[in-house]
Structure 1
């Protein structure tokens, strides 16, 4: 079989890595290091995709102790050491804080009774170690898969080598689907506590060879779904049967979203006056064009507005726009390009805010450089402000939107 150029480059990289000795791929380390600390009383406090950008250990409510856990796991991931070395490291770190042994922890929310955590119990420490290590490895693997999918565009779900195997995971084993199939947004392993399932990346020849054998299929078995209610937050999630609650996301797929979410959170803590100049600088660079081309949906900070918090009851003053919204509007309106979104801040600051039929929406009208702009922003169900649409129009359309706004306001009053 003749190697493609992409396969040859990858093979050379692997051979070079062998000569140098084992090294943890940088994307694995970066994924873990990019996480922010989030002290939590229960594992339910950090849920689903939030794990992609928040590091937590159930029961660790002190930031300094949580930082020790993160540092020790970071050391283990980057150096490739195993659990026993991590355990010894944690004993040395936690003993001075009084956390090596039984520790009574109080719920900061006051909702649940005090509980005792004990990290000298191997099971407790092993769960913390392996759940973080495997998720980081999975995110790194997804990153590499995306880089090589042109030459190897398929993934095979490979069953776990663990002694005890989940029946549902055995049922899914042998499934072959394209890399970007929606199946991998939930079923990319690990898919539960202690899950050791894997995926194997395939080229066209590999795929055809496997599908010619028994036990392999392009169709995943329909195992159904179940509804799970997070006892801490009340959030209701639909989860494929066979996946443990909280593990129903692909850690690598959320990578870009993680970085942007962290950045938006940082801007929100800075306040609108300080955040606005930073956002404006970003939109003058190449960053928006790169993000707009991404397959993954991300919400890009585009403006900051304290007024949005007051008028729409938002919980943060950062206004975002989804990259697919940018692409859609640029494709639909000939007079709108990516650079047009750099004017959102100016439209918000100088425009007239008009009420909409939907009370969670405001239409903002502004004339900038003789151009009539219409910007619609909305408060999402979780309290964030997002751009709904942006387009150029004329004075007649502005007047029409104003008249409707007066009517909607009167109807509500």
Structure 2
């Protein structure tokens, strides 16, 4: 859908996609992991300047009210100039403490911010519609870009027609890069002559020069754009659920998590209904499904204190559930039913980069590993049965740590 053809007001899925991305100031674009750009609103060179909220408010207005770029530019530019965030300036790099000459605000950067946010939000909204009508229109066809200069690899994908739920759309659902204007079309069946085979990914290694993150990115897709905004919106819904649980009182939170354990999504995650293959965890096609998570327990105050976190919700991702299912087949419904009591009354707790919690189920020692993420989540990273000597060792580590 072309930006100039949008309706007067954005639909709810478009607005939700934008609103569920919290603001995060940054100095360099790549100091935020590419996949986190899909989960948060950030603009490079805003760290140290009081402008990110202004940019976010103006961008939200552009997304929700679908105002043209000229209006977005004319309303935002005076604010940024008044706060000194415009043109080339010498500033202190917060990572190194050194003075660097950088480009702050410019017409080109405003155009890029506008275009990227409009297209990503619209893509998320379109995905919601695609999911609603996929019973009648179960295929998607990749369409050519409306740009004058078309990327060769993007052109090679034109005509590719695959089922809506094919994993290829996890990485190649457009936009697939800065200023990419590729589109998709829903179809009841492939048209004659359509390309029905999934194009090769041609994965290439990419390293983030700031964070050191290393991963594989499909050829032809800019790092940070190898995700499906609509699926990201679904992931953000899970995160929003955790945020709501954290705002509840203790008793209400426990009752809510207990109810959520009876939700079909709980079984979908713990039993790996997404069929995530942990052995292919570096495959970008797996990324979207692996990041879906669901609350599985309440984190007691003593454990939260040891992890140094304010959240009281323990979540499990599809990726971690798949890893547990492959490596530790003894973990089943009985474990999940006993998890909360085990966290409330642990036999031993050993601290490190992660928290290892030992408790017993039917007299047999089990361990869960909890980790706190950079996004202030607490994830159940691993769970398995251990031997008595291992439980003794962890009790010893706990005693030594408290000595």
Fold in common (TM above 0.5)? yes
Aligned length in residues: 363
CA contact (8 A) 1:227 1:236 kept: yes
2:75 to 78, 89, 92: 89
Q: Matches of 1:139 and 1:152 in 2, distance apart?
A: 18
CA contact (8 A) 2:371 2:381 kept: no
CA contact (8 A) 1:312 1:361 kept: no
1:41 to 22, 27, 43: 27
SS in 1 for 2:238: helix
CA contact (8 A) 1:149 1:179 kept: yes
1:187 pairs with 2:172:
yes
1:156 pairs with 2:141:
yes
Q: Matches of 1:306 and 1:263 in 2, distance apart?
A: 20
CA contact (8 A) 1:59 1:105 kept: no
Look up the match of 1:365: 360
1:250 to 223, 228, 234: 228
Mapping of residues 133-282 of structure 1, within 5 Å: 133-204=118-189, 207=190, 210=191, 212-213=192-193, 216-222=194-200, 224-261=202-239, 264=242, 277=251, 279-282=253-256
Summarize the Cα distance change of 1:80–1:314 in structure 2 as closer, same or farther, 3 Å threshold.
Answer: closer
SS in 2 for 1:72: helix
Summarize the Cα distance change of 1:227–1:313 in structure 2 as closer, same or farther, 3 Å threshold.
Answer: farther
Q: Report Cα offsets for 1:246-268 as digits up to 9, x if no partner.
A: 21111211223223335657878
CA contact (8 A) 2:373 2:379 kept: no
Q: Report Cα offsets for 1:29-76 as digits up to 9, x if no partner.
A: 111011111000011122232123210011111474101111101111
Summarize the Cα distance change of 1:185–1:276 in structure 2 as closer, same or farther, 3 Å threshold.
Answer: farther
Look up the match of 1:291: 265
Look up the match of 2:368: 377
The structure with the largest alpha-carbon Rg is: 1
Q: Report Cα offsets for 1:156-202 as digits up to 9, x if no partner.
A: 11120100011111111111111111111111111111111111111
SS in 2 for 1:157: strand
CA contact (8 A) 2:63 2:117 kept: no
CA contact (8 A) 2:22 2:40 kept: yes
What is the TM-score normalised by the length of structure 2?
A: 0.76
CA contact (8 A) 2:206 2:214 kept: yes
For the aligned residue pairs, the C-alpha RMSD in angstroms reads 3.9
The Cα of 1:137 is off from its aligned counterpart by 1.0
Q: Matches of 1:223 and 1:109 in 2, distance apart?
A: 34
SS in 1 for 2:64: helix
Mapping of residues 125-136 of structure 1, within 5 Å: 125-136=110-121
CA contact (8 A) 1:226 1:238 kept: yes
Q: Matches of 2:18 and 2:9 in 1, distance apart?
A: 16
Look up the match of 1:50: 36
Q: Matches of 2:387 and 2:153 in 1, distance apart?
A: 54
Summarize the Cα distance change of 1:313–1:72 in structure 2 as closer, same or farther, 3 Å threshold.
Answer: closer
Gaps of 5+ in 1: 1-17, 391-396
SS in 1 for 2:52: helix
Q: Matches of 1:354 and 1:170 in 2, distance apart?
A: 55
Q: Report Cα offsets for 1:365-409 as digits up to 9, x if no partner.
A: 26xxxx76865312469685406458xxxxxx9xx8434422677
Summarize the Cα distance change of 1:360–1:287 in structure 2 as closer, same or farther, 3 Å threshold.
Answer: closer
CA contact (8 A) 1:55 1:70 kept: yes
Gaps of 5+ in 2: 275-288
The Cα of 1:291 is off from its aligned counterpart by 3.3
